[in-house]
């Protein structure tokens, strides 16, 4: 696929979240979203979003830094015909640039992203990620509300002191037919016996969680390997996996029983597909993770979640779960499922009037003449 770029537009947009989202590392009330548009001389533009967050609490990258990396280093190299991989790191920025160029190419060919990835499913189950609440009672109320709307999978954020009690309460309230994954965002200490005991209690069959996601620091693969030998559910790695090489190391150590696959975190769809394929070969279940994306990122996640190794519930919900007003037409669910877009490229693009209204910074870089 050849795409001749005449330029790249970078936009920083600010969107309030539909509700505050609290994790072990941060409390988010809005997102500064970096939107990348690949400008093509004789064809349709391509779109992508950079999933970096406002602060570097989940991943070393953050929105303002990604903007600079794209502006001064990645985009100039690509427009000059050089490889963006001359620049080390900056996975999320690279994924956005790769994604925008890929979207432009697929649109020009009339192919969907799902077709490019080779997906065979056109419907995927939703999975509602819930942050930590002000009380257990409040969490139960929110969780049961989503289940009553037809959603059959929940991801619950946990941290030391907020784990067994709230998860057990949600399980009792929603029943055994709802899938539950817990996510610690690396907030536990593998050398702390109380922390390890709490994680072991979370794996108790009476609570019935499908996986414990990223309990320890991303670099603590040995701690994850030790825990994996003492719990009865898969230890799902998220922040620990930034490339297929990271996954190979984790598998060799016995530290990984499942993978949360986030396209931005691993540097783009090409590397994401390599990770997926290795998981499929090794029998490792995958869940498509989310980063509170706009509709641009949600379209990517829907296609990835339809890949065959993605057997654990994803982080995918309707647009209204995240934003009162999205920059794209809203994604909606039906009976706890969502449709993989079938239009060219992402199958969706921003609404110009909304995008212009929420843009707080904008720059266009042109191909050197």
Overall average pLDDT of the 162-175 stretch? 97
pLDDT in tens, 216-251: 999 999 999 999 999 999 999 999 999 999 999 999
Rounded Cα distance between 27 and 90, Å, is 23
On the question of pLDDT at 100 being above 80, the answer is: yes
Selected catalytic residue, list 94, 262, 281, 352: 262
pLDDT at 42 over 90: no
pLDDT for 20 beyond 90: no
Q: Is residue 25 over pLDDT 70? A: no
Say what the pLDDT of residue 368 is: 85
- Tell me: the pLDDT tens digits for 341-351? 999 999 999 99
Phi, psi dihedral angles at 130 (to 5 degrees): -115, 125
User: What is the per-residue pLDDT for 235?
Assistant: 98
SS3 string, the chain, reads: CCCCEEEEEEEEEEEEEEEEEECCCCEEEEEEEEEEEEEECCCCCEEEEECCCCCCCCCCCCHHHHHHHHHHHHHHHHHCCCCHHHCCCCHHHHHHHHHHHHHHHHHHHCCEHHHHHCCCCCEEECEEEECCCCCHHHHHHHHHHHHHCCCCEEEEECECCECHHHHHHHHHHHCCCCEEEEECCCCCCCCCHHHHHHHHHHCCCCCCCCEEECCCCCCCHHHHHHHHCCCCCCEEECCCCCCHHHHHHHHHHCCCCEEEECCCCCCCHHHHHHHHHHHHHHCCCEEECCCCCCHHHHHHHHHHHCCCCCCCCCCECCHHHCECCCCCCCCCCECCEEECCCCCECCCCCCHHHHHHHEEEEEEEECCC
- Encode 253-266: b = buried (16+ Cβ within 10 Å), e = exposed: eebbbbbbbbbbbb
Does 157 qualify as catalytic in the annotation?
Answer: yes
Mean pLDDT calculated for residue range 46-74: 96
Q: pLDDT tens digits for 308-338?
A: 999 999 999 998 888 989 999 999 998 899 9
**CA distance linking residue 171 with residue 160, whole number of Å:** 19
Take residue 51 and report the two structure tokens written for it: 């999933």
Predicted pLDDT of residue 88: 97
Q: Is the pLDDT of residue 22 over 80?
A: no
Alpha-carbon span 166 to 163, nearest angstrom: 6
Topology of domain 115-339, CATH: TIM Barrel (3.20.20)
- Mean pLDDT for the stretch of residues 286-296: 95
Mean pLDDT of the chain: 95
CA distance linking residue 214 with residue 207, whole number of Å = 18
The yes-or-no answer on residue 94 being catalytic is: no
Distance CA 155, CA 157 (A): 7
pLDDT score at 24? 65
Domain boundaries, the chain: 5-110+348-366, 115-339
Average pLDDT over residues 53-63: 94
pLDDT tens profile 121-168? 999 999 999 999 999 999 999 999 999 999 999 999 999 999 999 999
What's residue 29's pLDDT?
84
Mean pLDDT computed over 195-213: 95
Distances (CA, A) of 176 to 64, 151, 179, 266: 43, 13, 8, 33
- Select which of 155, 157, 281, 352 is catalytic: 157
Q: Collect all residues with Cβ–Cβ distance below 8 Å to 163 and sequence separation of at least 6.
A: 182, 184, 198, 199, 201, 202
262 pLDDT above the threshold of 90: yes
CB 70 within 8 A of CB 34: yes
CATH of domain 5-110+348-366: 3.30.390.10
Question: What is the C-alpha to C-alpha distance for residues 269 and 284, in angstroms, rounded to an integer?
Answer: 19
Provide the pLDDT for residue 23: 78
Q: What is the b/e burial string over 88-122, where b = at least 16 CB atoms within 10 angstroms of the residue's CB?
A: eebbbbbbbbbbbbbbbbbbbeeebbbebbebeee
């Amino acid at each position: 696929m050849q795409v001749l770029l005449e330029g790249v537009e970078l936009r920083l947009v600010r969107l309030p979240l539909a509700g505050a989202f609290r994790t072990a590392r941060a409390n988010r009330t809005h997102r500064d979203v970096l939107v990348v548009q690949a400008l093509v001389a004789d064809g349709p533009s391509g779109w992508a979003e950079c999933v970096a967050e406002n602060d570097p609490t989940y991943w070393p990258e953050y929105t303002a830094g990604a903007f600079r990396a794209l502006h001064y280093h990645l985009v100039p190299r690509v427009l000059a015909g050089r490889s963006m991989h001359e620049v080390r790191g900056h996975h999320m920025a690279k994924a956005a640039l790769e994604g925008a160029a890929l979207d432009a190419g697929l649109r020009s060919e009339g192919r969907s992203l799902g077709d490019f990835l080779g997906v065979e499913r056109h419907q995927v189950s939703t999975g509602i990620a819930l942050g930590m609440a002000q009380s257990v009672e409040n969490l139960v109320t929110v969780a049961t509300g989503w289940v009553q709307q037809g959603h059959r999978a929940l991801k619950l954020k946990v941290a030391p002191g907020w784990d067994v009690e709230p998860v057990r309460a949600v399980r009792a309230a929603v029943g055994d037919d709802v899938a539950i994954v817990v996510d610690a965002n690396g907030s536990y200490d593998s050398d702390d016996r109380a922390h390890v005991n709490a994680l072991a209690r979370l794996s108790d069959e009476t609570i019935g969680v499908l996986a414990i996601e990223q309990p320890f620091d991303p670099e603590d693969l040995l701690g994850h390997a030790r825990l994996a030998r003492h719990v009865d559910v898969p230890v799902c790695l998220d922040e620990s996996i930034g490339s297929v090489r990271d996954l190979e190391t984790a598998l060799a150590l016995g530290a990984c029983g499942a993978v949360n696959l986030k396209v931005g975190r691993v540097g783009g769809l090409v590397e994401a597909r390599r990770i997926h394929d290795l998981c499929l070969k090794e029998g490792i279940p995958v869940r498509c993770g989310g980063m509170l994306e706009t509709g641009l990122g949600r379209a990517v996640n829907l296609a990835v979640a339809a890949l065959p190794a993605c057997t654990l519930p994803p982080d995918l919900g309707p647009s209204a779960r995240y934003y009162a007003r999205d920059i794209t037409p809203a994604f909606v669910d039906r009976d706890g499922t969502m449709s993989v877009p079938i239009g060219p490229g992402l199958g969706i693009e921003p609404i110009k009037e909304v995008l212009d209204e929420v843009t707080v910074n904008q720059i266009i870089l042109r191909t050197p003449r």
